Amino acid sequence: MTSPLDPATASHGPDAASASATPLSRVTVLGTGVLGAQIAFQAAYTGSDVVAYDIGDEQIAVARARFDGLAATYLTPQGLPGATEESTREALRRVAFSTDLAEAVADADLVVEAVPESLELKRDLYARLAPLLPERTVLATNSSTLLPSDLVDVTGRPEKFLALHFANLIWVNNTAEVMGTPATSPDVFRSVVEFARGMGMVPIELKKEQPGYVLNSLLVPLLNAASALLVKGVADPETVDTTWRIGTGAPFGPFQIMDVVGLRTVHAVSVAGGPEGRAFAEMIQRDYLDRGATGRESGEGFYSYPAPSAE
């Protein structure tokens, strides 16, 4: 099955000519996976000096290809309106790469953590990070499932820590959910809101902590319902997606959305679910991940795509 993904129109902020108008101009992104790369590239595109950190040379090599792919994508009809070869080349020039954690954060105004959704992994990273950060540095997690309160005690800077959650295909689905803990400084919260706005995002300000934030609080029940229909043998992914698109006018169905999110992330979230969630995770592992089908980024998931994407 093949289905083109033509992203829906969103409300876009400034283009590359509008550099971030906040003090948070030096940004380090920890993790160069699909979304980490998007965050780093969009920050660079809108004027920030960016360090993209990952754990090894192999990951950095993949990241460089992702950044080149993003630069190319921004110039396509599905990319960012107003993007030019000059503006994307300039964005690439603003990105440095590092496998040295201390070096990567040494001069950061803002560090955005975008590592896999594992509480143990994130807490270990923050414990190692705490003594390395400059006093001024604001620290944000891009976690989509964990609350910042799950992590705050190991950050060493509770007043400068919060969540900054982006949606995949960041240049089109340009929301940035900002969620603090009771310890987060209001001034830090506002500075991150303005940073997100300067990135071309629409800041979504949460007044209190909520698992799943706003976006996933709405989205996850849909995806769970779709996966249950598949696990029970009620309908196949294409039927579910067609029904949803026709019935609601939405541009994507739930299985198309899962391909965009990435099946590794869907698997990780499903493993932590109930019996149906675990059955769905087993299906994803057996039928997709074990043969390298990770969703849109690999060119194959529930659907097949014309060519692997670098986003």
Q: What is the pLDDT of residue 273?
A: 82
Q: For 87-119, write each residue's pLDDT tens digit.
A: 999 999 999 999 999 999 999 999 999 999 899
**In the structure encoding, which two tokens stand for residue 161, read together?**
């820590």
More confident residue, 297 or 157: 157
pTM, full prediction = 0.83
The single residue of 113, 177, 300, 311 carrying the catalytic annotation is 177
Using alpha carbons only, what angle is made at residue 188 by residues 147 and 24, rounded to the nearest 5 degrees?
A: 110
Active site residue 12: no
128 CB neighbour count, 10 Å cutoff: 12
Q: What is the pLDDT of residue 22?
A: 58
The single residue of 174, 216, 224, 309 carrying the catalytic annotation is 216
The single residue of 165, 168, 174, 267 carrying the catalytic annotation is 165
Residues 6+ apart with CB under 8 A from 17: 87
Q: 28 in helix, strand or coil?
A: strand
Q: How far apart are CA 6 and CA 174, in angstroms?
A: 15
Active site residue 58: no
The single residue of 144, 168, 174, 224 carrying the catalytic annotation is 144
260, pLDDT greater than 50? yes
Range with the poorest average pLDDT among 8-22, 229-243, 271-285: 8-22
Active site residue 144: yes
Q: How far apart are CA 137 and CA 134, in angstroms?
A: 6
pLDDT (mean) for 190-219: 96
Active site residue 177: yes
Q: For 32-53, write each residue's pLDDT tens digit.
A: 999 999 999 999 999 999 999 9
**In the structure encoding, which two tokens stand for residue 145, read together?**
């499932």
